[in-house]
Every structure is written in C-alpha cells, then in structure tokens.
C-alpha cells in the first residue's frame, strides 16, 4: 500500500472517531443540561438540611422532624400536600407516612414525637413510624404513639383527644419508649414544673394545661364489674359532668387546674403495673385546652396530695380494707 492510500485510511479513521466522540459529547451535554433544568425545577433555591425524625421519642434516621418550643398562631404558613393542608414544618414527615396526624410535645420532658392514626387501635401498637413490624425486644421503637381511631383531628377537635403509647424500656437493650416519661407525673413536683402539653395537628396548634393524673384499670372484674371508659372521644357537655367526677375520684393529687363540662381535653394513656402484673392498669395524664387569655403557669399552692384516691376493688381486697367508692354511681359515656 502506497503512502497516499495509507494517509487516506488514517484520515478516514480519524474522521469516524471525531464523529463518534463528538456525538457522545453532545449527548452528555444534553443530559447534563436536562438534569440541571430538572434539579432547578424541583429543588429549593436554598436546600435545607433535614434533621433526624424523633419517631416515638428516639432519634433515628435522617428524615423529617419537628421541634416545638412554643405555641404559634393557627394562621401559620400551611401548604396543600397530597390533597390535604399540611403546615410547612410537618410536610416532610407527612410525606414519609401519610397516617401522620400531628406532633406531641411536653416541654421539660423527652416527649417530642410524631402522632399517627390508624384504622383501629391495634396497628401502631406493633408498627413504627416507618411501618416496620416491631416487638418489645426489637431494639428500636416499639410501635408508635397514636391517636385513637375514633378521634377527629380536623379543625374541630374531639371533646377528648386520646393518644395511646407504650412504656417499655426497663430491660437491658430495649429502648425507652416515649410514654415512659409519663411515669414522672406520678410525682406532683414534676407536674408543678412541667404542666403544659402542646399538640400540633396538620394545620393547627393547641396548648393544654394538665389538670389530672390518675390510674384506671381496664377489666371490669378488677373493680366490682365497672370500667371507667375514659377514652370515650365525644361525650356531651352534660355527660361530661359524670366523667369529671370519675376523674376527681382517681386523681393522685389535686392540681388546682379547673376542669369544666364545656372544656375540651387531651388524654395520654399508657400501661403501668402499680396494682400488680395481673391487673391491667393504665396511667392517664389529662390536659384541658388552655382558656383564652389564661396563663400557662399554675398555682403551686393549690397542688395537694390525695392519699385516698380511688383504687380498683382488687387493691382494697389485697389490703383488707373497705372500698369507700364501692357504692358510688357508675358513669356511662354518651353523646346525650
């Protein structure tokens, strides 16, 4: 092959390579441009780092979170998300689990966590914020705090907003669950220092002042055939009179915080074993919605121990003493 033919062949190869690499460069340029445009359309101008989500009181995963330090106005910025109006600071958590209905915070305690709501009161006893099945020994959150499935979480809250949750965490290797902190409210001095509950829905914020801490059993057989149904969500004002009487009988101490039939309340309920492992008992912390213009402070001089608070009949039997509440009227919840 003469030099002229060799030169022509080399030039042909170079031309082909130039065409190939030129096409690749153009293709990559188009891809880069498209990616940049897409990122510009979908990303905020100033990306905000996401703090860790405190699902059920334990910091875990790099996901959305909400830190409540003070109650703000109900007119706070809100945006429509997935067909619902969701406040800006809960949007990311809501995008992870659409069963998110709110955020619960009790200043001065470890309770600062997401509240979910299922179709029943069983699901989130076992499933956590990320919808993972859990057990008491899983080594992570055991279920998640959840709003009673019968409660309304709209602008018109239920008369009684009931939130359930576990208190496990005493055993080695088992994390402390969020509602374990409620045990501290058996001490009236802890109440005096931390009397406020803050609850945020998807588009509103509410402040409750704790008005009662009590114990209640769940089995009729333990208390002369009666069970105080304190988790009923929507009793009427008239019917609430009997509810208040039952609460006052059981209060571990007087809080000095009023509770009227027209008030709306929040009820935090968790397991406790003060009457023994065989007596299914709940520790209950009740807060009532802060009145307009009312201070968040409480009058410590009105807080008094109540040594004769109502116990279940099995307790009086074990002590060999008479039950002073044995013949009191039983309250039945009703809308009427």
Tell me if 222 sits within 8 A of 257, measured CB to CB: no
What confidence tens digit (pLDDT) does each residue in 174-223 have? 667 789 899 999 999 999 999 999 999 998 999 999 999 999 999 999 99
Residue 265 has pLDDT above 80, yes or no: yes
Share of the chain above pLDDT 90, in %: 63
Structure confidence at residue 30 as a pLDDT band (50, 70, 90): very low
- The C-alpha atoms of residue 127 and residue 84 are separated, in whole angstroms, by 24
Mean of pLDDT values over 270-293: 96
At residue 97, the pLDDT reads 95
Mean of pLDDT values over 168-175: 64
Helix or strand run (H / E) with residue 190: helix 188-193
**DSSP one-letter string for 199-250:** EEESS-EEEEEEEEEEEEES-GGGTTT----TT-S---HHHHHHHHHHHHHH
| Structural domain boundaries in the chain | 1-47, 55-319
Residue 149 has pLDDT above 90, yes or no: yes
At residue 202, the pLDDT reads 92
At residue 44, the pLDDT reads 30
Dihedral of CA 209/215/219/225: which sign? negative
Dihedral of CA 227/230/235/241: which sign? positive
Q: Give CATH for domain 55-319.
A: 2.40.260.10
The whole-model pTM stands at 0.77
What confidence tens digit (pLDDT) does each residue in 45-56 have? 332 332 334 443
Tell me if 76 sits within 8 A of 85, measured CB to CB: no
- The C-alpha atoms of residue 161 and residue 181 are separated, in whole angstroms, by 19
Mean of pLDDT values over 231-249: 97
- The C-alpha atoms of residue 54 and residue 63 are separated, in whole angstroms, by 9
Q: What are the angstrom distances between the C-alpha of 19 and each of 5, 28, 29, 172, 259?
A: 21, 14, 15, 68, 83
Residue 169 has pLDDT above 90, yes or no: no
Residue 298 has pLDDT above 90, yes or no: yes
Residue 303 has pLDDT above 50, yes or no: yes
At residue 16, the pLDDT reads 42
Residue 100 has pLDDT above 90, yes or no: yes
């Amino acid at each position: 092959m003469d030099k002229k033919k060799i030169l022509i062949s080399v030039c042909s190869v170079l031309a082909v390579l130039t065409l190939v690499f030129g096409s690749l460069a153009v293709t990559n340029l188009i891809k880069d441009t498209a990616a940049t445009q897409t990122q510009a359309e979908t990303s905020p101008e100033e990306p905000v780092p996401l703090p860790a989500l405190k699902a059920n009181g334990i910091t875990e995963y790099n996901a959305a979170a909400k830190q409540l330090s003070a109650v703000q106005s109900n007119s706070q910025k809100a945006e429509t998300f997935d067909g619902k109006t969701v406040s800006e600071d809960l949007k990311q958590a809501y995008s992870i689990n659409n069963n998110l209905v709110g955020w619960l915070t009790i200043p001065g305690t470890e309770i600062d966590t997401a509240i979910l709501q299922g179709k029943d009161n069983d699901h989130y006893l076992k499933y956590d914020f990320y919808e993972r099945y859990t057990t008491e020994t899983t080594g992570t959150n055991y279920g998640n705090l959840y709003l009673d499935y019968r409660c309304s979480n709209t602008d018109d809250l239920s008369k009684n907003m009931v939130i359930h949750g576990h208190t496990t965490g005493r055993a080695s290797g088992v994390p402390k669950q969020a509602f374990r902190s409620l045990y501290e409210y058996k001490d009236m001095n802890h109440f005096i220092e931390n009397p406020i509950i803050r609850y945020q829905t998807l588009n509103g914020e509410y402040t409750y002042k704790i008005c009662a801490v009590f114990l209640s059993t769940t089995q009729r057989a333990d208390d002369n055939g009666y069970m105080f149904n304190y988790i009923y969500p929507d009793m009427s004002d008239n019917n609430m009179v009997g509810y208040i009487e039952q609460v006052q009988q059981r209060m571990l101490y007087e809080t000095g915080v009023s509770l009227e039939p027209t008030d709306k309340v929040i009820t935090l309920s968790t397991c406790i074993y003060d009457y023994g492992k065989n007596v299914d008992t709940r520790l209950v912390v009740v807060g009532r919605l802060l009145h307009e213009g009312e201070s968040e402070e409480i009058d410590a001089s009105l807080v008094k121990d109540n040594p004769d608070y109502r116990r279940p009949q099995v307790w009086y039997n074990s002590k060999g003493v008479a039950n002073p509440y044995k013949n009191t009227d039983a309250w039945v919840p009703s809308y009427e």
